[in-house]
Structure 1
């Protein structure tokens, strides 16, 4: 008997997301990250704290900590997308991109005075984002957010 849980998801061929399914297919050998990580990171960054709340058995403090961590992970995904598509200045102008050097510990509730992430309201260029200076660092941005 296996200790694994299988998860299967199908789209119809006319779905607007069929390209995503093809991209994440095991046949695609050019993925930046392991396929399983890409899928779980995308799902967990938003839905994990909500699933924990639904399941019950977690304290309000634990749920808030999980939500803060998820917010941090989502921010790292935003930064990754902004850098990948050269949108740092556009998103920064709208206060969407946050400081990429923040860590979840800075606002995960484990400190005496947890801080919420503060959006950057000025334009952002790649020089002000040293952690995004090359593709290898881009990869670490997401990996570190989920480890």
Structure 2
């Protein structure tokens, strides 16, 4: 008996999301991150605290902590998108900021050095460390 849970998604061929399914396909060997991580990061960053609330059994304090973590993860995804498409200046106009340093100090699934924004996205370092924004947010 397996300790894994299957999660499958199917789209019709005329779905506007078929391109996304093709991109996330195991056949695509050029993904920036492991495929499973990309999928769970996108889902968990928004839906995990809501699922915990629905399930019950969590204190109000725990739920708020999970929501804060999700907000942080969503912010990291926004910053990653902005960096990927050179939209950092647009983020600065709406007040979203990015950290100036990226490192690997992790506590309870959050990198504490990234929990408080330190600089505007235009100051993001353009190196391979930038790809760790999402990785750090979820590990």
Alpha-carbon separation, structure 2, partners of 1:98 and 1:56: 33
Q: Structure 1-normalised TM-score?
A: 0.80
Asked if structure 1 preserves the Cα contact closer than 8 Å seen for 2:52 and 2:58, the reply is: yes
How many pairs does the alignment contain? 131
**Could you give the per-residue CA deviations for residues 83-133 of structure 1, whole angstroms, max 9, x where no partner exists?**
0000000121122x223359664898xxxxxxxx6797xx742xx223xx2
**Any gaps of 5 or more consecutive residues in structure 2?**
102-109
Match of 1:88 in 2: 88
**Any gaps of 5 or more consecutive residues in structure 1?**
109-116
Give runs of aligned pairs for residues 6-45 of structure 1, distance below 5 A: 6-45=6-45
* Root-mean-square deviation over aligned CA pairs: 2.4
1:59–1:20: structure 2 CA closer, same or farther, 3 Å change rule?
same
1:129 aligns with 2:124: yes
Q: Structure 2-normalised TM-score?
A: 0.84
Structure 1's consecutive aligned runs of 4 or more residues displaced over 4 angstroms after TM superposition are 101-108, 117-120
